[in-house]
Amino acid sequence: MLAESNCWKRNCKHYLGILQPDGTEMTEVQYCTAFPKGIPDDIAYGKNQHLKPVKGDNGIQFEKGEPRDWLNENE
């Protein structure tokens, strides 16, 4: 199980959740529109707020979105 990412805490509108590339917890990564294969740790858990372009972000940076209720999203 992954720690809560800064992207989630900051309500980034591009944040998509947790991806399990091989279907197991061992390969879990936080992912988003900017980083569909996994958000770099310095952004997901560190001090980089991704306010400026970084290599590999597909031209997408942090944008404030509405808080999401992931538990009720699929009901």
pLDDT, tens only, 17-44: 999 999 999 999 999 999 999 999 999 9
Mean pLDDT, rounded, for 41-65: 97
Predicted confidence band at 70 (pLDDT cuts at 50, 70, 90)?
Answer: low
2 band by pLDDT with thresholds 50, 70 and 90: confident
Q: What is the pTM of this model?
A: 0.85
Compute φ and ψ for 64, nearest 5 degrees: -65, 135
Quick check: 75 pLDDT over 90? Answer: no
Please give the mean pLDDT across all residues of the chain: 90
CA atoms within 13 Å, Cβ hemisphere of 30: 18
In whole angstroms, what is the distance from residue 63 CA to residue 14 CA? 7
